[in-house]
Amino acid sequence: CGVSVTESNLVKHLAYHGIKGLPSHAKVTCRVCGKPMKRESILRHFREGHMKQQRKPSMK
């Protein structure tokens, strides 16, 4: 859509595009790269794939 997405506006930006109201298992397509995935994965996908952020290690 042309808007610059940052960590601070990512959730609101995805909600603007209609992601927020969908069930977690709903299929969505990334508008940047076209990759299909479940809605529950889109935040992680965007952060790791397009914003190049590393996932924090789990505390096990």
CA contacts within 13 A on the Cβ side of 39: 14
Tens-place pLDDT, residues 14-53? 888 888 888 999 999 998 999 999 999 999 999 999 988 8
What's the rounded Cα separation, in Å, for the pair 51 and 55? 11
Write out the two tokens for 59.
Answer: 């505390």
Whether 4 maps to a domain, the answer reads no
Q: Is pTM beyond 0.85 here?
A: no
Q: Tell me what pLDDT residue 49 has.
A: 92
- Tokens linked to 52: 């190049």
Is 19 part of a structural domain of the chain?
Answer: yes
| Domain span holding position 45 | 10-50
Q: CA-to-CA distance for 32 and 50, rounded, in angstroms? A: 8
Confidence class of residue 3 from pLDDT cuts 50, 70 and 90?
confident
Give a yes or no: residue 40 inside a domain: yes
pLDDT at 4: 85
At 10, list the tokens. Answer: 């990512």
